[in-house]
A and B are shown apart, each in its own frame.
Chain A
């Protein structure tokens, strides 16, 4: 049976008691099993059990998922998508007809770190961009800057020549501080197959290429230090690697940048 899921972000009040009650009631109408999975806390609870939901320990702005499995999961998904859209911030529009006009795939402003961040996502195309580390870094440079891609590439290569930027768990985080790109930028490149990055930490399947301006602010450094520290957690990396929604991936990354 297909597992259906609805991605969303909690608001300022995390999971208000009133919404919990409504969720429980709605889930009672279906035979499907509905589980609330809080991706930020990496904890889950049965949506019909209030105590289980409370013990997830959800915090404001956490990224969550309702996972629905059962004979009437399609109908449950429709109903619960409307519920989520009403109470929280829906992160993915599954079917246009569910909730009228599809929302633009924009993230709420609360997921913005205290500085402007350019976020780039590279959709997989059937071409030779992914052959090796050099071509991948060139792709990242072009994504981040249209004006100085070769200059930025040089900076990335210079950094890699000191030591490979593999974080372990299948993720590489090439990062530079440079004078060519005035704003902090993060380019996300999922690879169709694992690529050798020249490290004993193993091959990588996801590239998070980061560029910070010269003399970055304390907030910027702290935000990206949080992201790099998060990549030490295998479960977090697994979430990023298995995430098939660019919007959810962006939400997970941004959530890590704004707070622990």
Chain B
């Protein structure tokens, strides 16, 4: 087995702090599924995450200016244009498709750790 930063990182050690936005065209399924997957896998990799959902129920768990400025990275998991992108102008952004997250959320997050 190959060890990397992600696998040897214990849960108590936060290696990275990210904020994420999930969105999909209809906003009743994938938005919430992707948010679930990211929130589930991130702690296992020592990643602290806050996920904003932009679905049919509107924007929920909205990211604050403070959240964004404290984050090492902004992850956008979406197949459509995300609202209020201007918030992330000065942040490092990584964009992925919803399918990538559903296919293997762990790999997507591991990819962020570098």
Contact = CB atoms under 8 A, between A and B. Distances in A.
Interface of A: 159, 162-165, 167-168, 173, 175-177, 199-201, 210, 212, 216, 218, 220-222, 224-225, 227-229, 231-232
A232 B26 contact: no
B15 interface: no
B79 A167 contact: no
Contacts of B102: 167-168, 201, 232
- Chain A CB count within 10 A is highest, among B28, B33, B37, B102, for B28
Interface string B90-101: 000000011100
Contact of B33 (A162, A177, A222, A232): A232
B97 A221 contact: no
A200 B28 contact: no
A151 to B, nearest CB: 16
Contact of B29 (A175, A200, A220): A175
A175 B28 contact: yes
Given A175-B28, A225-B28, 14 more contacts: A159-B26, A163-B24, A163-B99, A164-B99, A167-B102, A175-B29, A177-B56, A199-B99, A201-B102, A225-B29, A227-B29, A228-B28, A228-B32, A232-B37
A167 B25 contact: no
B99 A162 contact: no
A173 B28 CA distance: 11
Given A175-B28, A175-B29, A163 B79 contact: yes
B28 A162 contact: no
Interface in B25-66: 25-33, 36-37, 55-57
B11 interface: no
Given A216-B28, A228-B33, A221 B57 contact: yes
The 5 closest A-B CB pairs, nearest first, are A228-B29, A225-B32, A163-B79, A221-B56, A162-B25
- Chain A CB count within 10 A is highest, among B25, B27, B32, B103, for B25
A201 B37 CA distance: 15
Contacts of B113: none
B80 interface: yes
A101 to B, nearest CB: 40
A165 B30 CA distance: 9
B28 A177 contact: yes
Contact of A212 (B28, B36, B37): B28
Given A165-B29, A228-B32, A200 B57 contact: no
